[in-house]
Each structure stands twice: as structure tokens, then as C-alpha cells.
Amino acid sequence: MNTNWKKLKQSKDGIPTYDSLIPYILKVLETGEETTTSTISKKAIQFLKIPDEIRNIKYPKYPNSDGVLINRFSFALSDLFKADAVVRPNRGIYQITDLGISLLNEYGDQLNKKILKKQPAYIKYMQEMNERNKLAGLNETDEPISEDDEINPRKRIDELATTLNNEVATELLSKIRNSDPYFFERLVVDLLVAMGYSGENGTAKVTSKSNDGGIDGVINQDPLGTSTVYIQAKRYRETNVVQRNDIQSFYGALAGVNADRGVFITTSKFSKGAMEFAKNQGIVLIDGIQLTDLMIDYQVGVETAKTYKIFKIDSDYFDFE
């Protein structure tokens, strides 16, 4: 495998492109050990013998940042994660997958983003991102907005913020699909409570471990339980679509407790038949994309990464009349 950084594809500033760094991240991780992001970049830099003058180049507007090269390692790790070539066991820690080892063995230092984008996990990721962006009114694209784009700066910020949040939501949905079923049931109850469904003095509980007969959660909106919301939560893979009979079973469970309102939440999607039946019976359906959008809106399972302040002139201050 090449060990000379000068042979890598470089941008105009002489820094290796993030695309060219992809195989060397897998090379560092090929032992299978869990490795921090800083260790990954450090070992890859040592392997390629990248000099300090390249490593220390900063973005002109951000002199206190980690630098251009480290930022490109982050982009490369992001693409590897989307392709399922690496996993993230904990924050800031990565580990190679069987697919990652296979790609490294097959392509070596010729591995690039075009190959990653052909992987099933990457394709699914982009499909979901495009769906989210479409719902948000953004273009279906995997390319970030260019600085040269003729677009209002505030609109650019809004679109970038939406895209970043959509990326978080997509990763969030993946984590939920891989979680424990009981955790998911507790999650949906927490979400509905955060949305205000329990009211000021109401109660909420997960019921699935107590032989609930099709009810996974119960939210009493008042202390006496005169207004109750019943929940069913299905932690399905994206290919396992919730069908009409699933909603009919939930409707039967609701009838068994004389309930007039229910919420069915899944990590996948609903079939047309399921949506039609639910609409006629007054059952609220929340699919995987809606679920994670709501989790971000109500800050369940997420936290604010950074806050930016954008100022405008206070016209009242300058009103001298």
C-alpha cells in the first residue's frame, strides 16, 4: 500500500483530498480495535509521512480550528460510516466492520468515495436523506452547498442547518433500529410526554413487560385517567413495512380497553392499506422519519451541538421621533 502522501490526490492548496484518505483510515483500523478519531488521523498521518507544514494548514477564517487535513479525515470517516465500513461504538470512537475489511482487501489504496457510494448501506442512507430533504423543501442531492452558489446567506445557513439535522436524524433512526425493543417502547413514551401528551398532572408508563395484549405504552392525560392515549411501538427494519393487519390488531387491542385514541409508532413505514384503515379508525401513525424529526424538534435523545447568533439592526433603537 502506498506510503507516500505526495502520490495522493490533492486540492489546489496541496492538501490530500478527503477522498484520498479513505483507504488509509481503514488501514489504521484493520486490527479491529476501537480507535479514537484523533488516533486514527495521527496514525494515518504517520503512515503517509505527511509533514507538519501540510498538517498545520488552517482555514483562513478559522485559525483556531483543527485544520484542513483533520477536517478532511472527519469527512472520510463520515462516508465510511454511511457505507457501514466502520461503526461508531461510542462518541468519537470507530471500529472497522467486516465490510470495511473486505473493501480494504479488495481495493487497497484505490478505494474511494465512488466505491463507497455503491454500497447498499450508503444507498439506503442517501435515499432516506433525500426523502427528508424533499420533505423539508431542499434539493435531493448528496453534494453540499458551494460557497460560489448564488443564494441568500441566511437561506444558505437555514439549508445547511436542515441538512445537518437531517444527517443526525438519519443516524438516530439507525441507532433506534439497532436498540433493544423495550428501549424503543420507553423512547416513544418519553417522546409523547415531551410533546405534552401527559398534561400537567398526567402519568406515562411502558406496559409491554406486563403482558399488555398489544398495548406498549399508556399515557393518562389527567390524574383520574379519564383521558388516555394508548401506544403501540414496532421497532422494524426499513424493509419491514407495517401492514393493514398490524393496525387492525392494534385497533382490536384498543377496543379491548374501550379506548377511543391510539398512536402507532414504527421505525419503518406504513403500507397504503394500513394508512387508510388508521385514518378511518382515528389512529395516529408515526413512521421512522416522522419519529426522528419529532425527537429532534422536542430534543429527545439529542442535544444541541452548537448555537450561532445572527444579528440584525434594532430599528427601534434608532427611531428618534
Question: CATH number, domain at 34?
Answer: 1.10.10.10
To the nearest 10 degrees (0 to 180), the angle between helices 153-177 and 288-297 is 120
4 and 81 share one domain = yes
Q: Is 69 within the bounds of a domain?
A: yes
Q: Which of 283, 286, 251, 282 is nearest to 267 (CA)?
A: 286
2 and 109 share one domain = yes
What are the grid coordinates assigned to 240, written together? 419491514
Q: Which domain holds residue 93?
A: 1-118
Residue 1: exposed, middle, or buried by beta-carbon count in 10 A (0-12, 13-18, 19+)? exposed
Q: Is 139 within the bounds of a domain?
A: no
281 and 185 share one domain = yes
104 and 1 share one domain = yes
Q: Can you give the pLDDT of all 321 residues of the chain as single tens digits?
A: 999 999 999 999 899 999 999 999 999 999 999 999 999 999 999 999 999 999 999 988 778 888 999 999 999 999 999 999 999 988 889 999 999 999 999 999 999 999 999 999 999 999 999 998 888 887 665 454 444 444 577 777 888 888 889 999 999 999 999 898 889 989 999 999 899 887 666 778 888 564 556 788 888 877 766 678 899 999 998 889 999 999 999 999 999 888 878 999 999 999 999 999 999 898 999 999 999 999 999 999 999 988 888 898 888 888 776
Q: Is 105 within the bounds of a domain?
A: yes
Region for 196 from its dihedrals, namely left if φ exceeds 0, alpha if ψ lies in -120 to 50, beta otherwise: left
Question: CATH number, domain at 238?
Answer: 3.40.1350.10
Q: Is 153 within the bounds of a domain?
A: no
Measured CA to CA, the distance from residue 242 to residue 251 in angstroms comes to: 14
Q: 70 in helix, strand or coil? A: helix
Q: Is 134 within the bounds of a domain?
A: no
* Total domains in the fold of the chain: 2
Strand 93-96 relative to strand 35-36, pairing: antiparallel
15 and 112 share one domain = yes
Picking from 84, 118, 152, the residue at the C-terminal end of a domain is: 118
Q: Is 243 within the bounds of a domain?
A: yes
Beta strands in 64-220 (DSSP E): 86-90, 93-96, 203-206, 217-220
Q: What is the pTM of this model?
A: 0.76
Q: Is 163 within the bounds of a domain?
A: no
User: What order do you get walking across the sheet with 93-96 strand by strand?
Assistant: 35-36, 93-96, 86-90
Q: Is 161 within the bounds of a domain?
A: no
pLDDT at 46: 97
